[in-house]
Amino acid sequence: MSEYLHFATPGPSAAFFDLDRTLISGSSAFTLALAGRAAHLMPTTELVRDAVTAALFKLRGDHGSDVADEARDRILGFIRGQRQDDLQSLNERVIPTLLGKIRPEARRLLDLHRQAGRGTFIVSAAPTEIVEPLALSLGMTGGIGTRGRVIDGVYTGELDGPFCYGQGKVEAITDLARWDNLDLSQCYAYSDSSSDLPMLSAVGHPVVVNPDSRLDKWLRYLHSYQYSYQYEYDRSFLQNYQHS
């Protein structure tokens, strides 16, 4: 396969990018935790625990409800009791670090989609206070992340909308498609994780990048050759995977 995917004729479409190990190298949660520690918003013990949890979470590739609950609780637990202004202030540290982790291949894909006239969006379980400014810093159309409920400027530890993970990502892009008059059958989605199979299955052009262990097992089973940064698969692949 050539370095770049063949892009369909431009239409009412967009490209959706997962964040960790897809758009960036490594974990955004670890970067956020380091910034929180430097700003005295997180003790060292929590930093170490969250760093290990985030790494295992991405490597395992699990997508069951227990793992979704674990990821949700980790994110909401980090912001519970914090002032929204304090979390937003972490962007001074977080955004430049994440921009330095953007994969060169991802930058090229963003450019190609923009040249084709498509909107580009980050879709991530990370807090929307981080996701939105990162997307804008990259010149993307927007970012969709997990939104925590805020009362009197303080996070309650509860969700304000769907958890942007697994099926929650499908809800998010479906709502966006409704508002922006997008045709999901013409849209692209990029992810490394088996947890994003719902989002990959919801679009006409699902693309697997840097697959996690579970996804990698299937790719090696289906294709004996060495794959590079990204490969596009049709819906039959995803359906066979989900029913295994």
CA atoms within 13 A on the CB side of 214: 19
Contacts 24+ apart (CB under 8 A), 146-152: 146/72, 146/75, 148/75, 148/76, 148/79, 150/84
pLDDT of residue 195: 84
Answer with the residue of higher pLDDT: 139 or 45.
139
CB under 8 Å to 120, separation ≥6 — which residues? Answer: 14, 15, 17, 110, 113, 114, 135, 140, 141
pLDDT of residue 193: 86
Answer with the residue of higher pLDDT: 10 or 77.
77
> Which pLDDT band, with edges at 50, 70 and 90, does 198 fall under?
confident
Average pLDDT over residues 197-213: 85
The CATH number that applies at residue 199 is 3.40.50.1000
> Which pLDDT band, with edges at 50, 70 and 90, does 137 fall under?
very high
Respond yes or no: is residue 18 known to be catalytic: yes
User: pLDDT tens digits for 228-237?
Assistant: 445 554 444 4
Sign of CA dihedral 128, 63, 102, 203: negative
Catalytic site residue from 18, 192, 196, 212: 18
Catalytic site residue from 20, 50, 192, 212: 20
Contact 122, 17 (CB under 8 A): yes
- Short-list 61, 105, 124, 107, CA closest to 231: 105
Number of structural domains in the chain = 1
Domain span holding position 32: 14-242
- Short-list 86, 73, 72, CA closest to 124: 72
Sign of CA dihedral 161, 162, 163, 165: negative
Percent of the chain residues topping a pLDDT of 70: 71
pLDDT of residue 105: 87
Answer whether residue 8 is part of any domain.
no
pLDDT at 62 over 80: no
pLDDT at 240 over 50: no
Average pLDDT over residues 218-222: 63
Respond yes or no: is residue 196 known to be catalytic: no
Query: How far is residue 157 from each of residues 71, 146, 154, 177, measured CA to CA in Å?
Result: 13, 12, 9, 28
Answer whether residue 34 is part of any domain.
yes
Give bridge partners of residue 142 from the DSSP assignment: 121
pLDDT of residue 66: 63
Answer whether residue 7 is part of any domain.
no
pLDDT of residue 221: 60
Answer whether residue 1 is part of any domain.
no
Provide the H-helix boundaries in 124-230: 128-137, 167-180, 197-202, 213-222
Percent of the chain residues topping a pLDDT of 90: 35
CB-based burial label for 120 (10 Å; 0-12, 13-18, 19+): buried
Number of residues in the chain: 244
Query: How far is residue 213 from each of residues 52, 70, 148, 186, 224, measured CA to CA in Å?
Result: 17, 19, 30, 28, 16
> Which pLDDT band, with edges at 50, 70 and 90, does 111 fall under?
very high
The answer, as to whether pTM is greater than 0.85, is no
Answer whether residue 3 is part of any domain.
no
User: What b/e string do you get for 10-47 counting C-beta neighbours within 10 Å, with b at 16 or more?
Assistant: eeebbbbbbbbbbbbeebbbbbbbbbbbeeebbeeeeb
pLDDT of residue 80: 84
> Which pLDDT band, with edges at 50, 70 and 90, does 182 fall under?
very high
Q: What is the mean pLDDT of the chain?
A: 78
Answer whether residue 147 is part of any domain.
yes
Answer whether residue 9 is part of any domain.
no
Answer whether residue 6 is part of any domain.
no
User: pLDDT tens digits for 4-44?
Assistant: 444 555 568 999 999 998 999 888 877 877 777 776 666 65
Sign of CA dihedral 97, 137, 160, 146: negative
